[in-house]
Amino acid sequence: MLTHVDLPSRACGSRTLENLSIADVAYALALTLSLSPPTDWLKKAPHKDPQRLRDKAIGRVRGAVMLAVTRGVAPTSKEFTNMCQVLRVTLPLELRTLVVQDVASSQDVHDQHTFVTLLLLHLLTDVQHISLTTDLNTGSWLNLTPEYCAYLTEALSGISRSSLQSLHLEGVTMVNGVMSEILHRSPRLCSIHVAGDDAAAEVLSFIAKNPRSLYSLHLDMCSVTDLEVVHALVRSYNEVGSWDINGDADVDIDEAFPPLCHLSVQSPLVTVCGAVVLLHSLRNLKSFHYSHWNSSLYNLLSYVQQQSPKAAPFGLTSLSLWRATSKAIDTLSLCPRLQTLMMELQTLEIEFEEYTRTPISWATVRAVQDQCPRLQRLELHHLNIVGTPADLVSPAPPSVLVELVQLNLSGVVIPPGLLCKLFVKNVALESLVLDVNQDALTDNVLSKILKNNELALLNYVYFSAGLLSPHGITSLLTLPSLIRLSLHLPGFPFVPASSLVYLQYQLAKGNYQCSVENAAKDD
């Protein structure tokens, strides 16, 4: 630890320490740090690839588009439409799609102006994919007024044909007819994902009148009926007779049937009878959810098997059987092409009331480890994990939760000796969040975690508190995939703020892959 600094002559003279300027102190600190011996992490930490000239140019374009979107310019103004025109004629289709998607993903869509501006940005720039979801935290949907719907209709009148291939709109209602105008101008559209009664009804009505080779259709939180769905997806398809299969679709498509491969309908009005008709008629379906809140297909398959023991097999390739009984297993004979079957617990989240710190025993945690060895996501909130003296001194098991991808301990109290035994020989972890008691996370515990696991995929780490030293923190920087390390600095008494600032400077100057941030605890 630095206890004395000899300030350079230019900073001293006859002045006292109180009279020194901030620049003098900063100069002395930089001189001292420059004389410090190099640390190992500087040599081992991975660097980012040098930024390409093309990426810099696209970054400038992205910044210009972002400025226009956030500046409050009217979505029908000449300035806005001219910018969209420039993007459309200067950038290739795939590239301008990426730029517009990047801008849209950075915006919180919580008002009509933002939504219409972003939607028009997609439409006027002519991109391949549109994905906009409004902020639903308020509990109410965004209802576009006739004025804003008129903006959309006016802009669409100048578009004769769109390159749109996928459309995903959620949390917004529009005047009847606007959705049809978008669909009518998008002959290459093969994927539709909308939510709400009006949007779902309008999509089905349009498909019924204008059958097309859809590959994927998702209708969420709506009240459509069996008759509406079957009329649009079966009757209208049968009247066409032949299909122009999209070039990007799966090669394993039976052209004698509609090419729809993925269908999801969340409506309280649909029944098992409609599901049977759809499964029988849409033989290219690979994934199928047709019920309120996506309940298991077990009841449907069981019904088909009972009514017709010799029923022709279905083309489903993925299936979730939440009740894995022997009868459920028997229904799998109807799905000979099945590739993905969900039957076991992959995600476990245990949460109690905040500030309660409900105690659970280490034996309970061990039961989860033993009974769910292939668990991929584990979240524990507001718990006090208690272990016996034997638990604390027992060696770590040979391997535990080796396929765990995400671990989140939020508001958890745990002994240091148990923290390093939560996962062992893990090779899949990508996200690690430890909001635990300060004395649980020490240099020794962190060293054991790194030693007992192969964390080559770990890309995000958040620590809320600990007794780590600066050396312990920099030991994480050598992980090959780590991109973001977040610390709640007030919880680390042995890590001075100046050390973190200088570490951030070193990482930025050296173009290292990982960034370190002082994050608020709520983050």
Same domain? 295 vs 444? no
Same domain? 404 vs 329? no
Task: With respect to residue 219, please indicate whether it lies within any of the assigned structural domains.
Answer: yes
Task: With respect to residue 21, please indicate whether it lies within any of the assigned structural domains.
Answer: yes
| Cα–Cα distance measured from residue 334 to residue 329, given in angstroms and rounded to the nearest whole number | 10
Burial class of residue 463 (count of CB atoms within 10 Å of its CB; 0-12, 13-18, 19+): buried
Measuring CA to CA, which residue among 390, 391, 383, 389 is closest to residue 362? 391
Return the pLDDT at 277.
83
Task: With respect to residue 313, please indicate whether it lies within any of the assigned structural domains.
Answer: yes
Task: With respect to residue 87, please indicate whether it lies within any of the assigned structural domains.
Answer: no
- Domain boundary residue, one of 342, 362, 396: 342
Tell me, letter by letter, the H, E, C secondary structure of 316-363: CCEEECCCCCHHHHHHHHHCCCCCEEECCCCEEEEECCCCCCEEEEHH
Question: What range defines the domain where residue 22 resides?
Answer: 9-36
Residue 73: both structure tokens together:
């310019």
Same domain? 496 vs 455? yes
For the chain, the domain total comes to: 3
Task: With respect to residue 65, please indicate whether it lies within any of the assigned structural domains.
Answer: no
Phi, psi of 418 (to 5 degrees): -95, -25
Task: With respect to residue 71, please indicate whether it lies within any of the assigned structural domains.
Answer: no
Same domain? 220 vs 316? yes
Burial class of residue 522 (count of CB atoms within 10 Å of its CB; 0-12, 13-18, 19+): exposed
Q: What is the pTM of this model?
A: 0.56
Task: With respect to residue 301, please indicate whether it lies within any of the assigned structural domains.
Answer: yes
Burial class of residue 306 (count of CB atoms within 10 Å of its CB; 0-12, 13-18, 19+): exposed
Tens place of pLDDT per residue across the chain (523 aa): 444 444 444 444 444 545 556 556 555 555 555 444 556 788 888 888 776 766 775 777 777 777 766 776 666 678 888 888 888 998 899 988 988 888 888 888 888 888 988 999 999 999 999 999 887 655 578 888 888 888 899 888 889 999 999 999 988 988 888 999 999 999 999 999 998 888 999 999 988 888 777 889 999 989 999 999 999 998 766 654 444 444 444 445 455 566 788 899 989 898 877 887 888 788 788 888 887 544 556 666 776 777 666 666 666 666 665 545 556 666 666 677 666 665 555 666 777 767 667 888 998 888 888 877 888 889 998 889 999 988 888 888 889 999 999 999 999 999 999 999 999 999 999 999 999 999 999 999 999 999 999 999 999 999 999 999 999 999 999 999 999 999 999 999 999 999 999 999 999 999 999 999 998 765 5
| Cα–Cα distance measured from residue 308 to residue 313, given in angstroms and rounded to the nearest whole number | 11
Same domain? 443 vs 399? yes
Residue in this structure with the two tokens 């080779």, named with its chain if needed: 213
Same domain? 464 vs 329? no
Return the pLDDT at 19.
56
Same domain? 130 vs 171? yes
Task: With respect to residue 212, please indicate whether it lies within any of the assigned structural domains.
Answer: yes
CA distances from 248 to 128, 274, 399, 424, 480 (A): 13, 29, 42, 41, 34
Displacement of CA 167 from its chain's centroid (Å): 18
| Cα–Cα distance measured from residue 252 to residue 284, given in angstroms and rounded to the nearest whole number | 8
Return the pLDDT at 245.
43
Return the pLDDT at 12.
47
